[in-house]
Each structure stands twice: as C-alpha cells, then as structure tokens.
Amino acid sequence: MLPRPRLVMLAWPLMAELVLGFGVGLLGLWLASRESDTASAAFALSNQVLGAFFLLFRVISMGVSVVITQNLGAGHVSGAHQVARAALGASTWLGIGAAIVVFLGAGPLLDLVDAPSAVQALGQPYLQMLAFALLLDAYNATMSSVLRAHLRTREAMFNILAMHSLHLALCLPLMRGFGPVPALGLPGFALAMAISRGFGMAVHLWLWRRQLNLHTQASDWWRVHAERLGPVLHIGLPGAAEMVAYRMAMLVSLAVVSGMGTLQLATHTYASQLMNLIVLFTVAVGFAGEILVGHQVGAGHLHQANRMVRRSLGLGLAVSFIIATLAAATAPWTLQLFTRDPAIIASATTLLWITVLLEPGRTCNIVLINALRATGDARFPVMVGAVSMLVVMAGGSWLLGVHLKLGLVGVWIAYACDEWVRGLLMSARWFGHGWVGAARRTRHRVLRQRRALQA
C-alpha cells in the first residue's frame, strides 16, 4: 500500500499551482474592481465564458492523465509516451478552433449569459484578447497533465510558478500603464496572460525532454492519431460532458443573477471568488488521488486504491470544512479588498455561510468523481450528475431565486442542493464498489496493449 505521505507529497504542489492561479485571477479582479464594480463583473463573466471553452482541452488533458497513469502502473512506459505525443495534435486543432470561436463570437457569447450592456462593453474586447491565450492554454493543459501523471508534480508546479510570476509582472503595467506603455485595462491582463502562457509552453517542452526523456516530432503537432486517442476519449469525453453540463447549469444561473442587476452580479462575483479559494485544497487532493488510483488500477492493486480514496475523502472533508468556516467568518473584512459597499459585503457574507453547508457535498463530488474516472468508470458521473446539475442547479436557481423571490440566497441554496445530491450519489457508487468491474477491464486493456507492442 502507498504510504500516506505519498498522497500529501503529490497534493501540495498541486495545491500550490491552484493557489497561484487563483491569486493571479484574484489580482485581476482586484485591479478591475479599482476601476468599477461593472469592470469586475465584466472580468468575472468573461472568465466564466472562457472557462466553458477550456473544457474542450479537458477532454484531452483529463483523459491523457488517466490513461498515462494506467499505462505507467502496468509498466507500459512506451505506451504512455505514445499517448502523450498523440495528445499534442489534438490540442492544436481544439485550441485553434476554440480561439477562433471566442475571438469572432465574443459579443454573442456574452449575450448568451444576458450580460448587461455596460458589462458587455468592457467584456467583449477582454474576451477577444483572451482568445490568443486560449490556444496556448490548450498545450499547457495537456503537457502539464503528462508531467503530473509521471508523478512530476513539483516540476509542473515550478513551471506554473514561473509562468504566473511573469503574468503578474506584466499585467500591472499593461493594465494600469507604465511610462510609454498605455493603460489597456482588462485587455492588458489578457495580453500578459498570452505572453506568460507562451513561456510556460516552452518550459514544458524542456521538462518533457529532460525529466521524461520524451521527444516530440514535427508531425506530432498537427497529426491526429485516432487509435492512440481512443482510450483518452473514453475517459475524457464523459468527464468533459459532465463539466459541460456543470458549465451550462452555471451559465444559466449566471443569466438568472445577471437579470437581477449589476449590483447582484458584482456580489455574486466577489462571493464566488472566495468560494473558489475554499475548494482549492479539495481539488488538489482529488487530482492527487486520481493520479494514484490510476497507477494502482494499472498495477491491479484495487484494495490499495479503495483505502487511499477513503483516506483522501476524510482529509478533504475535514480541511474544506475548516477553510469554509474561516472564509465565512472573515468575509466582512476580506470582502473589503474588492468593495466598500456595505450592502454587497453583507449579502456576500451570507452567501459564504451557505458555502459552509455546501462544502461536504462538493468534497465528495471532487474526490470521488476523480477516483471513479481513474478506474475507467467515467460514464456514471456524467449520467447521474448532468441531471442534477441541469435540474437542481439551473432549474433551482430560477425557481428559488426568481420565482420564489429569494434572490442570490435562493441561487446559492440551489448550488448547495445540487452538490449534496451528486455527492451522495457518488458516495453510493464508490462505497458500493460499482467501479470494480470498470477497473478490472481497464487493467486487462492495458496489459493487452503492452503485450501487443512487445510482440
């Protein structure tokens, strides 16, 4: 059995990555809020739209990570390298397609979430500039997943640290202006992101060669190897479909909030940023658990995988509850970093106390869905989760927030109900051992591929 420090050793670099990424986004929100609450709402709403497109890249990066861990667990290193190289071509075409759609359709995309006219005027040029960073993020998501699957989480973290440091160094002068550099506002933040993502991609290539002895060829960047991507899509498509359902439900709820007015949208934005900070530790534990479960399934160690997931879940529940309580208790002071409006602060604080009740359900979701995916049981989470997200989260946001006139409180109650419904369903699947059959099939598939390559 893998010792407990192994999970923590994998999780803390992932946690550091997530905190760094969150910190950059938080700085961008803070800089936007210095201009106006409308600018901060445009920043957050545009990033929500962009996040929906980033799910396309998760189809590849999510599947690549799981399939590589399974191959490595079975001792099939050459197969893992083939999968990594095949993912580059897929990332190229997905990245180009997403960038074109975002650049040309920035206005209509903001219309879809019912952005107020003042918010759209600021959000459209920002979203168009983000399209350039989107293409580079497609590569970075895939290449970073490959490093983590090889248990190189620290190397991936140091690259993310350098990338975000460069972003921070550039976004301040580009957004606010410095010397001959004009103040670009929100597009300046996006331009700094694009430059930093290009730097991160170059470092990833270097780490592939130095740490993994993984060398790419020119054709890897544009050729799509359907046979190698089959197992990747088997994992990635259901996982991405689940995330698409989540994003769709979230966009519906955002449209509900946008219809309440700019003040409510700004309140939702600030509370959401703090809620995202709360979940970072759980996400890190979930990703670390997915990596370890993939290795253990590939090696055929199903009992060890079960014990490790139970340990991960207990750790995640304890820490996330403590962090959520601290965030809610300190919200009247931390929210003053973004706004001085007492009505916004009071309303956002109430939403964060609802988050304390939400977190146990969300922790079960994150830890167990990642574990189920790593075993090869990728379809169950999307089949049962999509119904809850679209009915409970999206429908509940309208029912409670608009029809029953509970406003933002009603929207966040709907969030909590959705997390608990899905969390209980995922717990029943894992603890009822419904994943075992998929894990055994995954183990047999990897062994067959290794024997075929050696023959």
- Rounded to an integer, the average pLDDT of 74-84 is 88
- Rounded to an integer, the average pLDDT of 349-367 is 94
pLDDT band at 15 (very low <50, low <70, confident <90, very high): confident
pLDDT at 59 over 80: no
pLDDT value of position 150: 92
Q: What is the mean pLDDT of the chain?
A: 88
pLDDT value of position 131: 87
- Structure-token pair, residue 92: 């190229």
pLDDT value of position 2: 38
Q: Which residue from 358, 283, 266, 267 is spatially nearest to 321, judged by alpha carbons?
A: 358
pLDDT value of position 1: 38
- Structure-token pair, residue 304: 């060890």
pLDDT value of position 5: 43
* Contact assessment for residue 149 and residue 298, using Cβ atoms and an 8 Å cutoff: no
Helix ranges (DSSP H) in 259-301: 262-278, 280-299
pLDDT at 139 over 90: yes
pLDDT band at 110 (very low <50, low <70, confident <90, very high): confident
pLDDT at 114 over 80: no
pLDDT band at 455 (very low <50, low <70, confident <90, very high): low
pLDDT value of position 42: 85
pLDDT value of position 79: 87
- Structure-token pair, residue 217: 């060829």
- Rounded to an integer, the average pLDDT of 44-69 is 82
* Contact assessment for residue 125 and residue 43, using Cβ atoms and an 8 Å cutoff: no
Task: For residues 200 and 288, give the distance between their C-alpha atoms in angstroms, rounded to a whole number.
Answer: 22
pLDDT at 286 over 70: yes
Give one DSSP letter per residue of 45-63, joined into a string.
HHHHHHHHHHHHHHHHHHH
pLDDT band at 454 (very low <50, low <70, confident <90, very high): low
Q: For tokens 């970075």, what's the residue?
A: 140
Q: Evaluate if pTM is beyond 0.85.
A: no
Q: Quick one: the chain helix, strand, coil %, rounded to 5?
A: 90, 0, 10
Task: For residues 76 and 61, give the distance between their C-alpha atoms in angstroms, rounded to a whole number.
Answer: 19
pLDDT at 111 over 90: no
Which of 111-120, 233-242, 427-436 has the highest mean predicted lDDT (pLDDT)?
Answer: 427-436
Query: Which CA distances in Å does 123 have to 232, 418, 433?
Result: 34, 29, 46
Task: For residues 256 and 417, give the distance between their C-alpha atoms in angstroms, rounded to a whole number.
Answer: 17
Q: Between these two residues, 231 and 439, which has the higher pLDDT value?
A: 439
Task: For residues 365 and 22, give the distance between their C-alpha atoms in angstroms, rounded to a whole number.
Answer: 20
- Rounded to an integer, the average pLDDT of 321-333 is 93
Residue-wise pLDDT for 166-200, tens only, equals 998 898 888 888 878 788 888 888 899 999 999 99
pLDDT value of position 3: 38
- Structure-token pair, residue 77: 């290193």
